[in-house]
Structure 1
Amino acid sequence: MNVHILADSACDLPLDYFEEHSISFLPLSVDIKGEQLQDQIEIKPKQLYNAMREGAVVKTSQPSPLLIKESFTDLANKGIPSLYVAFSSELSGTYQTAMMIRNEVLEEFPSFELAIIDTKCASLGHGLAVRYAADLAESGKSLSEIETAVKNYCLKMEHIFTVDNLEYLARGGRISKASAFVGGLLNIKPLLHVEDGKLIPLEKIRGRKKVFRRIIEIMSERGVNLQNQTIAISHGDDEEAAYEMKALIEKEFSPNEVYINYVGAVVGAHAGPGTLAIFFLNDEL
């Protein structure tokens, strides 16, 4: 029996991917003007970014504990070994909640094989980890083999991204207010990365073209064997920038694939419109 994969909506993979690979989908929620909407099901990224541009204050919340418990219990009843690939514990309480519910379910089903991975990743960094887990599961690997491989994969995942305005990240507590350097009037673009699951400001660069060039430089410095990787780009409603970045990456590194998708509503609620993020591995698997 193949291992069943579960993932939450913060991985920013489309619903079609979940359905095609029979992955359980656990949506986080976005609160806009008091209305709580399930990510990807009741709100799409473009709707979120339009609301933010109009000044809406947006909050996010974890997947419903009831939904998590129902998902775990259903799999336990069927005796299917399962792996939940979860959003970074440094950015959400989703992982901790899932671990508590796992313990509850195991009291009732002590023989149920369920592992939960704290990816320490976000957006398509998390999404690439989900894709990797799904590939391993479909190839017939055991739960322990997949868990070990995906944990190793996540440790090697680089997140390099830029946002139009760090105020969104500061407002949501994702970075300190002291770190929220805002340079819109000076055309200063902040560059950030993820370190042990946390968002860390890296550099301040003037102008979009210089930011793109610097991202390519960082990829050259940190990336290993990029020509044989799938590199991912997620964007906050700025496809033009994503495809411009894709062209630069393909010219410089000729990777196996450059995968592009939106920064989803939950991550986008904190990063804001105009976000551009690049994900790649910094070591061999």
Structure 2
Amino acid sequence: MTIKILTDSASDLTEEICNEYDIEMVSLTVHLDDKEYEDGKTIEPRKVYDAMRQGKAPKTSQVSPQTFKKVFTTYAEANQPLVYIAFSSQLSGTYQTAKMIEQEVKEKYPDAPIHIIDTKGASIGQGLVVLHAAKLAKQGASLEEVIEDVKYQAEHMEHIFTVDDLEYLRRGGRVSKTAAFVGTMLKIKPLLHMEDGKLIPLEKIRGAKKVFGRMLELMEQRGTDFTNQQIGISHGDDIERAEQLAEMINERFGVSKENILIEMVGAAIGAHAGPGTIALFFSNKPNK
């Protein structure tokens, strides 16, 4: 039986990509102007960025237990293998909720082939892991092969990113008040990365022009075999700078444009990262 790949909207994969690779998506919730929206479905990311530019502070909440129960029960009843590839447990309660509902569903369907994996990643870093798994599933890989590959790809996925204003991350509790204050006061461009699923400030760089050069230096230090993997770039409503970074990667590492996936940071992640975010994702060991 076909293995179904499930992810959440924090992966920032478009509806087109999900349809092409038969990926099912569940949505985090975005709260803006006293209304609730389904991330990736009923709100455009640009609406969130425009609101933030106007000084508004959108909030987000995890995927609801009811959503997971409905999806997990459907696959449990059909006895169809389901692999849920989740947003970092260090940034959202979504993974923990999914594990709780999995236990609940398995009380009624003890043999349900439901598997939940914490990517400890986000945005296209999570999305690239999902895509890899979906391609394997389409090729007829076994459940064990898909699960093993998801864990491997997630472990080796690098996240390096910069934001325009650390204040947005501070509001959501993603970085400390002190880190945000220092960055804003000195007009410093912060570089951050993911460490065991958490956002960790890496360096502070004076001047926006130097940031991309430093990102590529880190890419060269940490990564390998760039022409044989898909590189990811996501942006907070700044396609020009995202394409500029892609051009620099093409020139420096010889990665073709077809192998660089560029997507906008979705409404849920964007509500914390803010407009002007640029994130780079690559594997530090693409093949076992």
Q: Which TM class, normalised by the smaller chain length?
A: over 0.9
The answer as to whether partners of 1:166 and 1:182 remain within 8 angstroms in 2 is no
The answer as to whether partners of 2:167 and 2:184 remain within 8 angstroms in 1 is no
| Structure 2 residue matching 1:42: 3-state secondary structure | coil
- Please point out which of 245, 263, 266 is paired with 1:261: 263
In structure 2, list runs of 5 or more residues that go unmatched: none
The aligned counterpart of 2:48 is 48
In structure 1, list runs of 5 or more residues that go unmatched: none
The aligned counterpart of 1:274 is 276
- Give 2:226's aligned amino acid: L
Deviation at residue 18 of structure 1 after TM alignment: 1.5
Count of equivalent residues? 285
The aligned counterpart of 1:201 is 201
Cα distance in 2 between the residues matched to 1:55 and 1:182: 20
Flag the 1:181–1:223 CA change in 2: closer, same or farther, 3 A: farther
The aligned counterpart of 1:214 is 214
The answer as to whether partners of 2:21 and 2:131 remain within 8 angstroms in 1 is no
Cα distance in 1 between the residues matched to 2:189 and 2:279: 13
Alignment of 1:98-247 (within 5 A): 98-184=98-184, 186-247=186-247
Deviation digits for residues 109-138 of structure 1, max 9, x if unmatched? Answer: 111111100000000000001101101111
The answer as to whether partners of 1:2 and 1:141 remain within 8 angstroms in 2 is no
Does structure 1 residue 6 correspond to structure 2 residue 6?
yes
The aligned counterpart of 1:32 is 32
Q: TM-score, normalised by structure 2?
A: 0.96
Deviation digits for residues 6-52 of structure 1, max 9, x if unmatched? Answer: 00000000012222222221000110122111101111111110011
Q: Quick check: 32-41 or 89-98, which moved more?
A: 32-41
| Structure 2 residue matching 1:153: 3-state secondary structure | helix
Deviation at residue 187 of structure 1 after TM alignment: 3.9
Structure 1 ranges of 4+ moved more than 3 A: 181-187
Cα distance in 1 between the residues matched to 2:126 and 2:286: 18
Deviation digits for residues 66-88 of structure 1, max 9, x if unmatched? Answer: 11110111111111011000000
Alignment root-mean-square deviation, CA: 1.2
Q: TM-score, normalised by structure 1?
A: 0.97
Cα distance in 1 between the residues matched to 2:72 and 2:183: 46
Flag the 1:169–1:33 CA change in 2: closer, same or farther, 3 A: same
Residue identity (%): 53
